[in-house]
Structure 1
Amino acid sequence: MARKTLTNWMTGVCLAAGLAMPAAAETLADALAGAYNTSGLLEQNRAVLRAADEEVAQAVAALRPVVAWTGDISRSYGTTRSLATGFEWTGSATDTASIGLSATLTLFDGGANRLSVDAAKETVLATRSGLVSVEQDVLLRGVSAFMEVRRAIETLTLRQNNVRVIGEELRAAEDRFEVGEVTRTDVASAEARSAAARSLLAAAEGALAQAREEYLASVGHLPGNLVSPSSLPRIPATADQAKAIALRDHPDIIQVQHQVAASEIAIAVTQASMSPTVSLQGTYGYDESFDSEAGTRGGTIGLNFGGPIYQGGNLSSLKRQSIATRDQNRAALLQLTKSIPQSVANAYANLRVAQAARAASDEQVRAATVAFRGTREEATLGARTTLDVLDAEQELLDARNTQISAVVDETIAAYSVLYTMGQLTTEDLALNVPRYDPAEYYNLVKSAPVQSRQGEDLNRILKAMGKK
C-alpha cells in the first residue's frame, strides 16, 4: 500500500509539472535577457541620458558665435502743410525695405560658458551611472520574478499531490470504517484534511497566476518551462571584500560623486556670472526705398562691454543656492558610503540564513520521508491510525514546501549580494544581449552638430530607437 501510494505521488508530481509548464525550456539567463531587452524603464532612462547629452551640446554652442538675420518691409504715410504748399494739407507715403545680418561672439565672461560645459559633462556621467542603477533594478526584478514562478509552480505541484494523496486516504478510511477497523472520528479527520488541502490548492493556483503576471510585466512574456539555475553566481568569499568593491564600483556612489563635481562647478559658474562680459558684435544690412532709387548698404563692428551692478540680490542668492546644493550632494555621498556597505552586510547575512535554511530543509525532507513511509507501513499492520498517517503526510508536505522556498530564497539572496555590490549588470553577468552604448549618442552630439554627416548619423540612431 505504501509503495503504491509513493508511486502515485511521483506520477502526480510529473503530471502536475507537465500541466503547469509549457514545453519550451527557459533559463534564468534567458529571462534576464528578456527583462533587459523589453524594459520600458530602461528606455525611459536612456531618453533621460540623451537629454543630458544634449545639455553638453547646448553648453558648447554658447562658446560659438550667434548669427541672426532680420528683415523689414514698411510703409510710412501722413499729411503735411508748409509755406511751399500754401499751407495746404498734402499727403505723402514712403515704402522701404531692409535686410540685415548680425553676429555676436562672447570674448570674455569670466569663464562661465566653459565651466558650464564641464558641469554638463559631469551631469552626463552622473546620468550614465543612474542608468546602470536602473539596469540593476530591472535585472533583480527579473531574478525575483523567475524564482517566484518556480516557487509557485513547485508549490502548486505539491498541493495537487497533497489533494490526491489525502483523497486516497479518505477513501481508505471510509472503506475501513465500513468493515469496522476505524471509527467515525478517523473518517472525519480525513475529510477535514481533504477540505484544507483543497483550500491550499486554490491559494497555490492564485499565487501562480500572480507570479505569471509579474513575470510578464518584468520579463516581457509569459513564462515557459523554467529551468532552475544549476549554480549560484560567483560572489566574494567575505562581506568585507564585497564592501570594498561596492564602495569603488557601485553606480549610486559614482552617480553622486559626479553630482558633487557638477555642483562644485555650478558654484564657480555663479561666481563667474558676476564678472563683466566682453563680446564682439558685427552687423551688415541693406536698406532700399521703393519710391526712389535711393538705397544704402553697410555695417558696423565693435566691442560691447557690460556687467551686473545691482540685481536685487539675485546673483548672490544663486551662489548660496549652488553652495547648498553642493552640500546636499556631499551629504548624500557620505550617507551612501555608510548605507551601501550596510546593505552588502545585510545581503550576506540573508544569504547565510538562506543557505542554512536550505541545508536544514534538505535534512528535514529526508527525515520526514522516512517517518512517512514508516507510519504508512505501521498503519497497514494496525499499529497506526489514519490520523497518524495524515499527520506524517502533512509533515512531509510542509518539509518539501520549506525546501522549495529555501532554494528560491537562496538564489534571490545570492543575486541580491551582486545587486548591493553594484555588479548585477548585463556585462558582469555576461548576458547574451545587445548592450546599449551610452557613449554613442553622446559622441554624435557633444560638438553640437547642425545637419551634416553627424546629423544624418544622429537621425539614423533616433529612427532605430523609435523602432525598438
Structure 2
Amino acid sequence: MAKSKTLKAVALACGLAWTAVSAQAETLADAMIGAYNTSGLLEQNRAVLRAADEDVAQAVAALRPIVNWSADATRQFGTTRSPQSNNEILPTVSNTVSANISAQLTVFDHGANQLAIDTAKEAVLGTRQTLVGVEQQVLLSAVEAFMEVQRALENVALRENNVRLITQELRAARERFEVGEVTRTDTSLAEARLAQARSQLAAAEGQLAIAREAYLAVVGRLPGALQTPRSLPNLPGSVDAAKAVAVREHPQVRSLQHQVAASELNILRAEAAMKPTVRLTGRLSVTEDFDTDRFTRGGTVGIEAGGPIYQGGRLTSLVRQAMANRDASRGQLHQVVDQVSQNVGNAYAQLRIAQASLEASDRQVRAATVAFRGVREEAALGARTTLDVLNAEQELLDARSLRISAQVDQYIAAYRVLSSMGRLTASGLGLPVQQYDPVSYYNLVKDSPIEKSKQGQQLDRVLKSLGKN
C-alpha cells in the first residue's frame, strides 16, 4: 500500500496526470500562446522591424528643409604700437558675438530621394516577412517542446509500468524457485531484467527533466498536466497544392521578393547619383562688437546646382555593382523557391512516415499484447520459462514505445508541414493572443514626425508602452 502511494506521488510530481481531461490541463494552443507572448526572439525581431521603419522616416526627412544654427563669442586681445600713439605700446581688446541660421532644400535631384524612400519601404516589407518567419520558428518550437514533454511523460509511465511488471515476474519466479519449479537461472534473469528496467526508468526520467527545461525555455513556464491534441491541423490534400501555397505565401519567399524590388530601385538610385542636383539655400547672420557698438546683419538666398564631372569611374562602378546585387537577389529568390518546395515535400514525406509507423505500431501493440498474455498464462501452467515471459514483455514494451514515438512524430510532422507552407502563424492558427501589429508603429513614423508634434507625442507614448523609452 505504501509503495502504491509512493508511485502515485512520483507520477503526480512528473505531471503524469496529463491523460485526465480537466479544466486545468494545458493544451497545445496554450503552449503556443505562451511562446508567442514570452519569446525574446520575437521581441528582438520586432525591434529590428521598428529600426527598419525608422529608415523610411530618415529617407522622408531628406525631402524636407534642413535648418541649422551656429553661434560664437570671440574675445581678441593683444598689444599694438604705432606712430599715431607716439610709439607707445597699448593694449587692444575686441569682444564680438555672431549668430547664423542656414537652410537648405533639395529642389530637384532626378528622384534620388524619392527612390531612397521607396527602397526603405521595400526593406520594411521584407523585414515584416522576416518577422513572420521568426514567428513560425517560435510556434514550431512550442509544438516540439509540448510534444516532447508528452513523449517523455508517456515513456516514464511506460517504464514505471515495466518495472512493476518485472517486479511481479521476479516475485513469481522466486516463489516457483522455492517450490522447485524453476532454477536459480530464472530468478537471476528476472533480477537482471529488473535492474535494466530501473536503469531505463532513470533514463526516461532524465529525458523528462530535459524536456521540461526545454518547455520552460520556449513557453516561459514549466509544463503542468498536458492534454493530448484531439486532431491534426488542417492540411492541403496533396503535396502539389501545399507547394503552390508555399511558393505564394512563405515569408522567406516574400521577403526575397521585396529584396529584389529594393535591388531594382538601388540601380535607379545609382544612376540618379550621376545627375545634377538643384538646391535652394538661405542664410541669416548677425555680428555685434560690444566695444564699439558696431554690428552687421544680413542674409543670402540663392539656388545652387551641381553634379559630378569625373570621379575616377566610381559612379559607373556603383551602377554595375547595383545590377550585380539585383542579379544575385534574383538568383537567391529562385533558389529559395526551390528550397521551399523541397521542404514541403520533405515535410509531407515525414508526415506519411509517421502515420505509417503509427498504423504499424498499433498492429504491433495488439499482437504483442496477445502474445504476452498467452506466454504469461502458459508460464503459469509450466509450459513457458521465465525468460519467455520476460522476452514477451520486452517486445510489448518496445511496441508501446514505438507507438508513443510515432504518435508524437505525427503531430510534429503535421505542424512542420504548416510551417513549410508559411501558415504556422498566430493568425493562421486563430490563437487568442494580442497580435503584434507591424503597421501601427510604421504609420506613426513614416512621415518623420518631430518630437514636439502631436504625432511625435503619440509616438512617445507608444515607446513608453513598449518599455523602450
Q: What is the TM-score when the length of structure 1 is the normalising length?
A: 0.95
Q: Distance in 2 between matches of 1:94 and 1:321?
A: 56
Contact 1:16–1:157, Cα closer than 8 Å, also in 2: no
Which of 4, 12, 25 does residue 18 from structure 1 map onto?
12
Mapped contact 1:35–1:219 kept (Cα < 8 A): yes
SS for the counterpart of 1:95 is strand
For residues 330-358 of structure 1, the C-alpha deviation after alignment (integer angstroms, 9 at most, x for no partner) is: 11100011111111011111111111111
Match of 2:91, SS state, is strand
Structure-2 residue corresponding to 1:366: 366
Residue 348 (structure 2) aligns with = 348
- Superposition pairs for residues 430-445 of structure 1, below 5 Å? 430-445=430-445
Give the residue type in structure 1 aligned to 2:435: R
CA distance in structure 2 between the partners assigned to 1:293 and 1:62 by the alignment = 41
Q: Secondary structure at the match of 1:226?
A: coil
Q: CA deviation at 1:18?
A: 3.5
1:258-302 residue CA offsets vs partner (Å, 9 max, x unmatched): 011111111111111111111110111221110122212121100
AA in 2 matched with 1:244: A
AA of the residue aligned to 2:14: A
CA gap of 1:16–1:162, structure 2 versus 1, over 3 A, is farther
* Equivalent position of 2:391 in the other structure: 391
- Cα displacement string for residues 59-106 of structure 1 (whole angstroms, at most 9, x for unaligned residues): 000000001111111122333343423344433221111112111001
Fraction of identical pairs, as percent: 61
Distance across 1 between alignment mates of 2:366 and 2:7: 17
The 5 Å alignment of 1:407-418 reads 407-418=407-418
8 A contact 1:365–1:396 mirrored in 2: yes
Aligned match of 1:5:
none
In structure 2, the residue matched to 1:463 is 464
Q: CA deviation at 1:314?
A: 3.1
Do the aligned partners of 1:276 and 1:308 also contact (CA within 8 Å) in 2? yes
- Structure 2 distance, partners of 1:310, 1:86, is 59
Secondary structure of 2:467's counterpart equals helix
Q: Indicate if the aligned counterparts of 2:123 and 2:262 stay in contact, CA closer than 8 A.
A: yes
Question: Is 1:155 aligned with 2:149?
Answer: no
1:199-210 to structure 2, matched below 5 A, reads 199-210=199-210
Q: Give 1:204-243 correspondences, 5 Å limit.
A: 204-243=204-243
Give 1:313 deviation, angstroms.
Answer: 3.5
Task: Give a deviation string over 1:435-466, Cα, whole Å, max 9, x none.
Answer: 00000100000000012221122111111111
C-alpha separation in 1, matches of 2:92 and 2:13: 96
Q: Which runs of 4+ in 1 moved over 4 A?
A: 11-17
Contact 1:17 1:153 in 2 (8 A): no
Q: TM-score scaled by structure 2?
A: 0.94
**What is the match of residue 454 of structure 1?**
455
**What does 1:89-168 align with in structure 2 at a 5 Å threshold?**
89-168=89-168
Q: Distance in 2 between matches of 1:189 and 1:32?
A: 46
Which is worse superposed, 377-386 or 439-448?
A: 377-386
Q: Which amino acid aligns with 1:462?
A: L
Residue 133 of structure 2 contacts residue 252 of structure 2 at CA under 8 Å; is this kept in 1? yes
Q: Hey, what does 1:378 align to over in structure 2?
A: 378
SS in 1 for 2:208: helix
In 2, are the aligned partners of 1:12 and 1:161 still within 8 Å (CA)?
Answer: no
- Residue type at the aligned position of 1:228: T
Query: Is the 1:144–1:412 Cα contact (8 Å) retained in structure 2?
Result: yes
How far apart in 2 are the matches of 1:218 and 1:59?
A: 38
Contact 2:16–2:153 (CA<8 Å) still a contact in 1? no
Matched, 1:192 2:192: yes
1:30 aligns with 2:30: yes
The amino acid that maps onto 2:168 is E
What SS class does the counterpart of residue 225 from structure 1 fall into? coil
